[in-house]
Amino acid sequence: MKYMTDKLKVTGLDGVIAGETAISTLNNGLHYRGYAIEELARDATFTEVAYLLLHGELPTEESLADFRAILAESDEVPDAVIQLLHELPLHIAPIDVLRTSISALGHFDLQANENDVIANLGKAIRLLSHIPVLIAARYRLTRGLELVEPDSELSFAGNFLSLLHGRLPSARDERALERTLICYADHEFNASTFTARIVASTGSDLQSAVTAAVGALKGALHGGAIENVWEEIQQVQSPSDAERFVRDAISKKRRIAGFGHRVYRDCPDPRAELLKEVSQELATTDEQQQLEEIADVIEAAMWQHKQLRPNVDWPTARIYHSLGFDAELFTPLFAAARVIGWSAHFIEQQSANRLIQPRSNYVGAMPRPFVPLHDRG
């Protein structure tokens, strides 16, 4: 069968303005609701940032306490969903398990089919609270470990680390994860967020939109890229091999994951610069310090030979490794942060909605007469 792909011009909507948002912007650096990512990552907690993205303003001490209390009250995942985590085949990737379990959660949410702002805020908070429990429960179940109860006394990041590792985290590790979550919380109309907004525009529910967004995030050209970053850097045995690794990839016209970005072409990714500092702070063992040296050589070589800078996934893969996460958890961790951005965009889309339905430029066959089956050669 012949496909007319030779005529197709694929643009990926590169640079096309597809709508308006008051949630985040990449103009003059990354800002959430007007606040620079550098200030948020340095001085705010992830819970404050989640409140900001959902409500439009930073919380007061009282409103933050209320928000944390609601999160703590919302962390109980239905037993049937935990049982589903038991029953899904072991070979299923954690990001696929997360997608399926988020969809299943919708069946147990009493407000699942309510689409007013108050209901959607409640659903967003429950998803934010449930996702770390789902990720950690599946991880521990597949390793024969007992599940850990959420601890409302801990921060969001601290609780997440406790759920996964079964022990209280150090303040250093807690803050490192906090900063990655803040950096991944939102990023304007990225592929998964735009997917969520398309679903929102149809009048569908939040769980459906987030399920679709996770499906988009999984792809290797989006959130799945972070797992590829770790695979890349593991191939380099020492800093002295790093330059050769880059040259070899270039000669074979092979893309190195973690470099280049659709938007950050003429400037650095501010999240990559922030998280490089975090990765360096975590590098206390010989292995971790060597990884930092390898990363530095690869960065320099990629700029020298390709004029490509690292994106956010490049340092984050090393951070997650230093925090004791298996590579298969990297993309689910991305989702745990981005769910708050997806939810904020879902609510914004439905607040002033119009169905998102673009047109295409048809380049196929021109009109032609139908030939009956018996007359076709």
Q: What is the pLDDT of residue 8?
A: 66
Residue 250 near residue 306 (C-beta atoms within 8 A): yes
> Which tens digit of pLDDT belongs to each residue from 5-34?
556 676 777 778 888 999 999 998 999 999
Measured CA to CA, the distance from residue 264 to residue 254 in angstroms comes to 20
Find the mean pLDDT for residues 68-74. 94
Q: Strand 35-36 vs strand 24-25: parallel, antiparallel, or unpaired?
A: unpaired
Helices assigned H by DSSP within 202-260: 206-217, 225-234, 239-251
Catalytic positions, written as ranges: 261, 313
- Whole-angstrom distance, CA of residue 34 vs CA of residue 58: 11
* Domain extent listing, the chain: 24-220+329-351, 226-322
Q: What is the pLDDT averaged over residues 302-311?
A: 93
> Helices (H), strands (E): how many in the chain?
16, 3
Tallying the residues shown for the chain, one arrives at 377
Q: Dihedral (C-alpha) 198, 200, 205, 208: value to the nearest 10 degrees?
A: 20
The DSSP string of 281-326 is HH--SHHHHHHHHHHHHHHHHHHHHH---B-THHHHHHHHHHTT--
Residue 40 has pLDDT above 60, yes or no: yes
Compute the radius of gyration of the chain from its Cα atoms: 22
Mean pLDDT of the chain: 93
Cα angle value 84/86/91 (rounded, 5°): 100
Of 161, 153, 154, residue with least CA distance to 177: 161
Question: What values do phi and psi take at 2, rounded to 5?
Answer: -95, 125
Residues 6+ apart with CB under 8 A from 48: 40, 58, 59, 64
Work out the angle between the directed axes of helices 79-87 and 117-141 (0-180°, nearest 10): 40
Domain 24-220+329-351 in CATH: superfamily? Citrate Synthase, domain 1 (1.10.580.10)
Q: Is it the case that residue 118 has pLDDT exceeding 90? A: yes
Residue 1 pLDDT greater than 70, yes or no: no
The C-alpha atoms of residue 98 and residue 336 are separated, in whole angstroms, by: 10
- Detail the DSSP E strand segments found in the chain: 24-25, 31-32, 35-36
Between CA 101 and CA 87 the distance in angstroms is 11
Q: How confident is the model at residue 318 (pLDDT cuts 50, 70, 90)?
A: very high
**How large is the average pLDDT for residues 64-85?**
95
CA 371 to chain centre: 49
Report yes or no: 278 and 179 within 8 Å, Cβ to Cβ: yes
pLDDT at 159 over 50: yes
What tens digit of pLDDT does each residue of 219-257 get?
Answer: 988 888 899 999 999 999 999 999 999 999 999 999 999
C-alpha 332/C-alpha 180 separation (Å) is 13
CATH of region 226-322? 1.10.230.10
What is the CA angle 137-141-142, rounded to 5? Answer: 120
CB contact at 8 A, 300 and 341: no
Nearest Cα residue to 140 out of 156, 158, 160, 163: 163
Torsion of CA 167, 173, 175, 176, to 10 degrees: -140
